[in-house]
């Protein structure tokens, strides 16, 4: 898992004053999930990660140069996606 992501989750959790167990309960996931994310485990399911990010009010955008080029050809741009 990307170091930026694990560090972002840990920092947001701490700044929010939440323990790992509290965040897990808020996100509706097991407390080991939070530990695993913060320690860079690479086998976290995407849906689970989205729950944790949503609980912390963290949004991310997906960017695709391929879709950008396709949007330019067809006259409109693709809007970014987020969980």
List the domains of the chain with CATH numbers: 1-83 (1.10.260.40)
Instruction: Using only the alpha carbons of the chain, give its radius of gyration.
Output: 16
What are the pLDDT digits (tens) for 27-72?
Answer: 999 999 999 999 999 999 999 999 999 999 999 888 899 988 887 7
Question: Tokens 């690479």 label which residue?
Answer: 42
Half-sphere exposure of 64 (CA within 13 A, CB side): 12
Q: What distance in Å separates the CA atoms of residue 81 and residue 31, rounded to the nearest whole number?
A: 27
Q: What distance in Å separates the CA atoms of residue 48 and residue 76, rounded to the nearest whole number?
A: 32
The pTM of the full predicted model, rounded to 2 decimals, is: 0.75
């Amino acid at each position: 898992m990307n170091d930026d992501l694990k560090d972002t989750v840990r920092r947001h959790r701490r700044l929010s004053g939440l323990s790992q167990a509290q965040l897990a309960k808020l996100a509706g996931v097991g407390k080991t999930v939070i530990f695993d994310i913060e320690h860079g485990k690479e086998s976290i399911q995407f849906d689970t990660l989205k729950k944790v990010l949503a609980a912390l009010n963290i949004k991310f955008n997906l960017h695709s140069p391929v879709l950008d080029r396709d949007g330019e050809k067809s006259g409109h741009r693709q809007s970014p996606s987020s969980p």
